[in-house]
Amino acid sequence: MPFSHHSHSGQFCPGHAQDSLEEIIQLAIAKKFHTFCLTEHMPRHEEDSYPEELEAGATLSSHIANEGAYFAEASRLRAKYASQIQILIGFEIDWIRPASRTLIEDSLSRHPFEFFMGSVHHTRTIPIDYDRAMYETARERAGGSDELLFEAYFDEQLDMLQQLRPVVVGHFDLIRLKSDDPERSFTLWPRVWAKILRNLDYVAEYGGLLELNSAALRKGMSEPYPKAEICKEFLARGGRFCLSDDSHGLGQVGLNFHRVVPFMEQAGISTVHYLALGDGEGDGEGVDARFPRTQIQSVTLEEVKKMAFWAGAGATTA
């Protein structure tokens, strides 16, 4: 799609991503993206560092310094390429424990971010998408089964949603990535399914967007995040979707977007929403008081299919 609300660079997400932020923006321009949102990770406490960050001696202070450098560079690049692409500057949260909220609010107070991606990467404080070993540790902490871990994940997700009401909810069903059967229908576990529906009700009620995240496809799954069964339930609640590639380097910008279109058609999604910046006078819908310039706008899927992205090098098929 010619929109992405979720991206990372090796420059500001070292060890976890590749390539410079400017190179990534230049490629998004070459692929004729309409809107490309920047969402490097928020600062985390040292005890929540990933293995490669620990090796680099990452601390909360170094994360905060990295965030400042990111915001400055993102602002410079947006000004430099303003005539060629629409860029919003945000960040992706890590909801790990109650103290996470303080870190998020600190980030919002330090820099005038335009939104944040509301994501859960940890359950019982353990990463659930990093590798299988960590996933299994989280599963043991949750009671020893995928079903119990899924229940814990969606309970922690609800806590995040209620406390933060993120503009965009990131990879809603990420929990399935390292599970025993990532293709399994959530409906086969009634307690898990009930928690999913409860969370969808909440997001629809406050007007948040669910991202359709193509990263699940490059990781070997047959459907983006979230699965079609979840998308259909969110639609039934009046829910709205935006689009993301969750790219972590040049090779993933726009990757597998050509597979997202038929998925959307099969799921019944006919409208694409995206974030834009305005002065309050435009035709977009305001988000909330934390982000006074950020608006939600929409376009039909049929209109999206006619955009310049598809005519050039945008629709990466690898």
Q: What is the pLDDT of residues 109-140, one digit of tens each?
A: 999 999 999 999 999 999 999 999 999 999 99
**Which tops the pLDDT comparison, 76 or 45?**
76
Q: What is the pLDDT of residues 245-273, one digit of tens each?
A: 999 999 999 999 999 999 999 999 999 99
Predicted TM-score (pTM) of the model is: 0.94
Classify residue 316: in a domain, yes or no.
Answer: no
pLDDT at 289: 87
User: Which residues neighbour 206 within 8 Å (Cβ) at sequence distance 6 or greater?
Assistant: 165
Between the alpha carbon of residue 92 and those of residues 6, 13, 38, 42, 136, the distances in Å are 8, 11, 9, 6, 24
| Tokens linked to 314 | 């945008």
Q: What is the pLDDT of residues 76-107, one digit of tens each?
A: 999 999 999 999 999 999 999 999 999 999 99
Classify residue 315: in a domain, yes or no.
Answer: no
Q: Contact at 8 Å (CB) between 6 and 246?
A: yes
| Tokens linked to 69 | 């450098």
Structural domain harbouring 54: 3-310
Classify residue 201: in a domain, yes or no.
Answer: yes
Of the chain, the percentage scoring pLDDT greater than 90 comes to 85
Specify the CATH number for the domain of residue 41: 3.20.20.140
Q: Contact at 8 Å (CB) between 17 and 9?
A: yes
Tell me the pLDDT band of 281, cut-offs 50, 70 and 90.
very low
What's the total number of domains in the chain?
Answer: 1
* Token pair 């948040």: residue: 208
| Tokens linked to 202 | 């909440």
Classify residue 318: in a domain, yes or no.
Answer: no
Rounded Cα–Cα distance for residues 307 and 261 (Å):
13
pLDDT at 18: 80
Tell me the pLDDT band of 312, cut-offs 50, 70 and 90.
low
